[in-house]
Structure 1
Amino acid sequence: MGAIGTAVVFIWLGMVLAISFIEAPLKFRAPGITLQLGLGIGRLVFQALNVVEIVLAALVLYAVATDPPGSVPLAAVGVAVTVLAVQSVFIRPRLRRRSDAVLAAPSQAPDGMRNRSFAHYVYAGLEVVKVPALLAAGITLQAGSALG
């Protein structure tokens, strides 16, 4: 089960890197993308990412529950899952409310996306925590699988 957990962790890591650190920042630089269009795309993409992350987290938790690893991979998985929970329960709803307000009154929206909310910075900061946690989880789960 360790190999499956490792694979799932690296799939999760790849998705976070691709969406949060490549797609999201580049989206607003594309020609012709308006604030409303960018927010609409972002909402759909991050909603889908969140659902997939929750499924992947559940699979990883199942893998470590059925084949318990050592304390380091378990701690790394715990950090990643906790970050995801905080993002899903506390941060994404705030971001959704903000984007709702911007989409409802585009003329009152901040100039471009330069005026990001505090919630955006918290979300990005948590992504910066989640990435090394997933990397550590994947590497240490793999090491445990190789040893076992």
Structure 2
Amino acid sequence: MTTATTMNAALSAEQRERLMEFAREVSFEVGDRLFEEGGRADRFWIVRTGTVALDLHVPDRQPAAVETLGHGELIGWSWHFPPYHWHLGAEAMSPVRAWEFDAEAVRALCADDPEFGRAIAVWVGLVVADRLHASRIRLLDLYAPHGSGEWV
């Protein structure tokens, strides 16, 4: 399930429109870092075009890419959970155009409108669950004797 699919499943059309009122268009060049692991998570993005790699800090090495995200995908979920620090890093792998959102403003709207806040929480939760599932499958592919197969 993609972020766009989960967003459409979690937010009504009116809620999506409300969220988009906070969007501003941004772009990143190849190699631009969107954020660093451990940094302050004060914004998030939805990719319009291009690809972004999520990566993990590895001491004395280049960051290890753990997932690549593209069109319609949510970049960043750490902004939604205290203490609001990035759990991963992110780098543009191609030219990227995205909608950027101020996390504090969106969290304030969530606090003011509990129904909207619940919908955002469901959306972000679905994204986190989907990425956790994808990570588990990748681990099985790496370490299981016969690969991941299909989960039922």
TM-score by length of 1: 0.33
> Which structure shows the bigger proportion of residues in helix conformation?
1
* Higher RCO, Cα 8 Å, sep 6+: 1
> Which structure shows the bigger proportion of residues in strand conformation?
2
TM-score by length of 2: 0.33
